[in-house]
Structure 1
Amino acid sequence: MLTLNHFFYKNEPGFMSAYLSDHLLESNFRSIFLLGANTATYKFALAKSLLKLSKSNATFVSLDDLTPIYANYLLEHVKTGKRQLSGKGTAKLLNALNLYDQGQISEELMLNITRAEGFKYVLDAFHNLPKKQKSLSFFEKGIQDKKQGIVLHDNLFEIFQSQDFSNFEFEIEGRWNLVESAWSEDQLINVKYDTNTENLYYLKPVSNNSFLNSHLRTNLSKVRYPLNGYQKGKCFYCLKPISIQSNQENTCDVDHLIPMSIQFGSMYDLQLNEVWNLVLACKECNRWQDGGKAGNLPQKKFLDRLHHRNEYLIESNHPLKENIILATGKMVKDRIDFLLKRYEFACTIRKPSWEPKDVFGDVF
């Protein structure tokens, strides 16, 4: 039987350090938009802008050339009406973007304000991580032909060639949607998972009445988008690279680590359809036709991996963090105990026997 001692959590390094312990460029790049602290969503827009530069071989990009790309990504989210800045303040840049969206100022003026206001802090803060840590550098500020801009590092060009490249934009978008939704509401968002659409959503109160339509369903993101980066783009079980785009050969499935069918053996709600129990798996590991897990219970070693994945999510500031804490406990030992109790109950119903046929790594 599993015990708390099974989990190595005493005196272990922070989960931020654990996430970066593989020293991979992909993990460093992901740490910027998945784990970095945010007071505005500018870092997400800049990260997506950097990915857009993959179509050019230029090593220097002026702020004049970067501005339209950067502004376009911000505008896409300003149009949603959701808050792009934490707190109650309103930045000059966001005012300009809103005025442009409403047709009250010209594109030229909007771009001039974006150029003047949009890069004041984000360029310096882009590589900053919580607890005074920094990611590896992907660019630095520079001047060429008397123009301000950024000098792209070799690290960024390697990211352009990474097998994970196609996933990054979706992962950025997933966290951006979660953060802006949390900032736009006055209270904690209770995130739900729809197994049919594979969407994360929340119910927003629209009236004080207790009838069916007193809550408005608001979609947050496809569940694959925010989860994939915390698994570093790998199948939860075999650690093979996966895609979160639809209709790809290696498009992943969403799996309940403790199968939902275990709920039928309990008179209490085990909360198995919540984010803490959702993982991304390749088709071979998930589908019974390929010898996958399907409704089987995986071996206990995967519970430790689930705990670490959840702690990665908790390092990040968005509603999934708060929902996992609310469901599983405020302290690490409480969250471990929560997982153990549910897994041990599942073992009384179904023998834990499944593991993947092939494994393509050690950890994520």
Structure 2
Amino acid sequence: MAQNVTLLFDTSDVDYRRGVVTAESVWRAIVLYGANSATYKFAFGATLLEIAATGRDRVALEELAPRYADLLCQALQRNPRQCIATSSKFLDACRAFNAGDLDRDTLHRRTVQLGFTNVIDAFPQIGGAPAPVRYYEDRRKNSPTPGLLLRDELLRLARSVHAQVLDAETAARWRLVETAWATGVSGAVLGPSLVYDHAKQELLLPTRQRRKSVTGVVPALNGYQDGRCAYCDRLMAQGEASGPVVEHVLPWKLVTRPFWTGPDVDAVWNLVLSCTPCNQAKQDRAPHESWMPWLEQRNNDLIDSRHPLRETLITQTGATATTRRENLKNAYRTATELLPSTWTPPKRPHEGQCTPGKTPPISNAPTTSVRA
């Protein structure tokens, strides 16, 4: 009987980015993807969600300014660099407030004058084109009280179950961006040294004195998976007891094997989020090789999108897509030689939610990869 031979990492049928257009997915695309020249969009997005949660559909710039400025003042206290430009009159005003040289009322006036000049136009853009979902209408011109008209798409999103998760994802992306700038990520300083803390589920940046927490892994990765399990594609419940779970694709158990010579499995390239049922079913096994293109494309996608972890992933996986594929193939071969039993993830539905009481149909029977 002929064996079914799988070509290692054939990506022809991979659907990593499904292209589902919802208010939630487009918001994530705006916040999580694209170049970052300043962190204004993170503060602006967080402010919009907070105000929209009150149900108001009109907001003046004077009402946006206090929270928007507060978030940026707090960010400057964490990291003094919040943009790639050498100077910013608005950020200078925030710095002056932090130093006690500017009172709060003056800060708010300068925020109205300077803080929204570009961010209102730039925020609803993806790749230089208008986003497919509009969250507000600009009412700054020809109005006695310049501001925004908040659309139903934003009002519903801000009052949905997704709002808190989106806020955490925005904060995580913000921490990654500012840490990258502060440490000179373009020189790969962040890349080789970023480590994962199992107990805290955080990405840490070692310094001479201690390991500095950069951000939590769950909010840092959740948005790029659209809140779905990496294996079964179901929406993950957000409670502490039900997930998401930080999952090692190639099992962490490999580090206990004396003959493991592959890359560090405790690094970002090998970390994904899964629902609790898939995590429990997978155990200390690698996924079947038919799933591995998902990981390959996830890593390529983050690198190509200029993600703050770009240098980290390049350092860990390789400078080109070809090199990354070969390195991943070699790591997978070695892993499945040391731990031959693999796990086949369930089919990838596009509806439903993983909760402890609703386990997706998962095959627990050990399988073994067959390669040419």
TM-score, normalised with respect to structure 2:
0.84
Please give the alpha-carbon distance, in whole angstroms, between the structure 1 residues aligned to 2:152 and 2:274. 31
Partner of 1:95: 92
Superposition deviation, residue 238 in structure 1 = 1.8
Does residue 252 (structure 1) correspond to residue 244 (structure 2)? The answer is yes
More off after superposition, 93-102 vs 215-224: 215-224
One-letter identity of the residue aligned with 1:285: C
RMSD between aligned residues: 2.5
Does residue 120 (structure 1) correspond to residue 125 (structure 2)? The answer is no
Please give the alpha-carbon distance, in whole angstroms, between the structure 2 residues aligned to 1:73 and 1:147. 23
Cα distance change of structure 1 residues 333 and 25 upon mapping to structure 2, 3 Å threshold: farther
1:68-118 residue CA offsets vs partner (Å, 9 max, x unmatched): 12112212211213310114x121111111111121111001111111110
Superposition deviation, residue 161 in structure 1 = 4.4
**CA contact 1:4–1:337 (8 Å) conserved in 2:** no
Cα distance change of structure 1 residues 131 and 2 upon mapping to structure 2, 3 Å threshold: farther
Cα distance change of structure 1 residues 354 and 269 upon mapping to structure 2, 3 Å threshold: closer
Within the candidate set 337, 342, 349, 2:326 is matched to 337
Partner of 1:207: none
Partner of 2:108: 111
**CA contact 1:298–1:352 (8 Å) conserved in 2:** no
3-state SS in 1 of match to 2:272: strand
More off after superposition, 307-316 vs 217-226: 307-316
Superposition deviation, residue 262 in structure 1 = 2.4
Mapping 1:1-364, distance limit 5 Å: 3=7, 6-8=10-12, 19=17, 21-87=19-85, 89-130=86-127, 132=129, 134-143=131-140, 146-186=144-184, 187-188=187-188, 189=190, 190-204=193-207, 214=208, 216-243=210-237, 248-263=240-255, 264=257, 266-287=259-280, 292-356=281-345, 359-361=348-350
Cα distance change of structure 1 residues 158 and 266 upon mapping to structure 2, 3 Å threshold: farther
Superposition deviation, residue 139 in structure 1 = 1.3
**CA contact 2:254–2:260 (8 Å) conserved in 1:** no
More off after superposition, 109-118 vs 67-76: 67-76
One-letter identity of the residue aligned with 1:282: C
Taking only the aligned residue pairs, the percentage that are identical comes to: 29
Please give the alpha-carbon distance, in whole angstroms, between the structure 2 residues aligned to 1:169 and 1:220. 16
Please give the alpha-carbon distance, in whole angstroms, between the structure 2 residues aligned to 1:85 and 1:20. 32
Cα distance change of structure 1 residues 43 and 305 upon mapping to structure 2, 3 Å threshold: same
Superposition deviation, residue 260 in structure 1 = 1.5
**CA contact 1:140–1:151 (8 Å) conserved in 2:** yes
Please give the alpha-carbon distance, in whole angstroms, between the structure 1 residues aligned to 2:151 and 2:60. 15
**CA contact 2:286–2:343 (8 Å) conserved in 1:** yes
Superposition deviation, residue 119 in structure 1 = 0.2
Please give the alpha-carbon distance, in whole angstroms, between the structure 1 residues aligned to 2:36 and 2:278. 35
Cα distance change of structure 1 residues 234 and 307 upon mapping to structure 2, 3 Å threshold: same
**CA contact 1:238–1:359 (8 Å) conserved in 2:** yes
Cα distance change of structure 1 residues 316 and 5 upon mapping to structure 2, 3 Å threshold: closer
Cα distance change of structure 1 residues 341 and 2 upon mapping to structure 2, 3 Å threshold: farther
Please give the alpha-carbon distance, in whole angstroms, between the structure 2 residues aligned to 1:295 and 1:36. 35
Cα distance change of structure 1 residues 183 and 94 upon mapping to structure 2, 3 Å threshold: same
One-letter identity of the residue aligned with 1:239: D
Superposition deviation, residue 7 in structure 1 = 1.7
**CA contact 1:100–1:106 (8 Å) conserved in 2:** yes
Please give the alpha-carbon distance, in whole angstroms, between the structure 1 residues aligned to 2:90 and 2:347. 51
Gaps of 5+ in 1: 205-213
Please give the alpha-carbon distance, in whole angstroms, between the structure 2 residues aligned to 1:117 and 1:234. 38
Please give the alpha-carbon distance, in whole angstroms, between the structure 1 residues aligned to 2:341 and 2:133. 40
Please give the alpha-carbon distance, in whole angstroms, between the structure 2 residues aligned to 1:243 and 1:73. 28
TM-score, normalised with respect to structure 1:
0.85
Gaps of 5+ in 2: 352-372
Partner of 1:211: none
